[in-house]
Chain A
Amino acid sequence: MTTIPIQHYLFVAAAIFCIGLAIAITKRHFIGILIGIELMLNAVNINLVAFGRHDPERLTGQLFALFVIVVAAAEVTVALAIILRVYGRFQTVDPDEVSELKK
């Protein structure tokens, strides 16, 4: 049973991170931007887990990835609540059209 070299994990993570970055830049929709950020967080988690494989006694990488997942969950809930409020006030989900704090 061969083990995958760590560079291959890093390649996949770099590809997913860059695609997430492009999504977050390109999409003109709040939720599209959130999807891009989620993909970027996932890519970072792949890196952490791939390096944590070489630390079987303490598993620091996996623990850090666990905390990243917790922070991502908290971020998504608060961001969606804010998006719903913004939608209720401005009737739009385009970040370009929401340029003032108060209407």
Chain B
Amino acid sequence: MEAAAFYGFSLLAVTAAVFILFSKNLIHAAFALFLAFLGVAALFVLAGADFLGVSQIMIYVGGILVLLIFGIMLTQNINKSDDSSRHNKVEVLVKREVWGFLIGLGFFAVLIKIIFKSDFKMKGDAMISKSTIKTIGVELMTSHLFPFEVAAVLLLVALVGAAYLALNRNPTP
């Protein structure tokens, strides 16, 4: 049962990623990204990270994906045509496509070789199913307090910087 869920969701994530790679329409790619994020969140839950799975759905699907779709819609092509399938077209150079596939496949082969050769000695046993929220909260507030505060400052700086950059200071016609 668990194995079936694992392979199903990993197949979903990988298929969605391959669809993004081959789709020429960015809106379709963004919606396929939704499926990929959902699959990854399910993999998190299957690996015992329930809190991370939920926050993955909330942050990525609720925040980042909506931002990306807004960005796609705000940067439409100037020369619009009536053909609705041409709006978000991304043309791809054949040379770059070949290089992308070559680099991706080569790196994938290297990683697969490394994973096959590796022999991990795990320190502890795999986690029995229990909620991780309490542990994450305690660790975040005790031994990881400094990274937590740095993350807070980083988010504040990103907020202020993004608002400053996105302000329409010199509108161009």
Q: Which residues of A contact B (CB under 8 A)?
A: 1-4, 6-12, 14-23, 25-32, 34-35, 38-39, 42, 45-46, 49-50, 52-59, 62-63, 65-67, 69-78, 80-85, 87-89, 91, 93
- Which of chain A's residues have a CB closer than 8 A to the CB of B112? 11, 14
* B contacts with A, residue count (CB < 8 A): 89
Task: Assess the A53–B33 pair: CB atoms within 8 A.
Answer: no
Task: Assess the A2–B144 pair: CB atoms within 8 A.
Answer: no
Return the contact of A31 from the options B26, B56, B99 (Cβ within 8 A): B26
Contact residues of A: prevailing secondary structure: helix
Task: Assess the B92–A28 pair: CB atoms within 8 A.
Answer: yes
Task: Assess the A56–B151 pair: CB atoms within 8 A.
Answer: no
Q: Which residues of B contact A (CB under 8 A)?
A: 1-3, 6, 10, 13-14, 17-18, 20-21, 26, 29-30, 33, 36-37, 40, 43-44, 46-49, 51-52, 55-56, 59-60, 63-64, 67-68, 70-72, 74-75, 78, 90-93, 96-97, 99-101, 103-105, 107-108, 111-112, 115, 118, 120, 122-128, 130, 132, 135-136, 139-140, 143-144, 147, 151, 154-155, 157-159, 161-163, 165-166, 168, 171-172
A56 to B124, CA, bound (A): 8
24 interchain pairs, CB-CB under 8 A? A2-B2, A3-B126, A4-B6, A4-B46, A22-B21, A23-B20, A27-B90, A28-B91, A32-B29, A32-B90, A38-B64, A39-B17, A45-B56, A53-B48, A54-B123, A54-B125, A54-B126, A59-B135, A69-B56, A73-B63, A77-B67, A78-B161, A81-B161, A84-B75
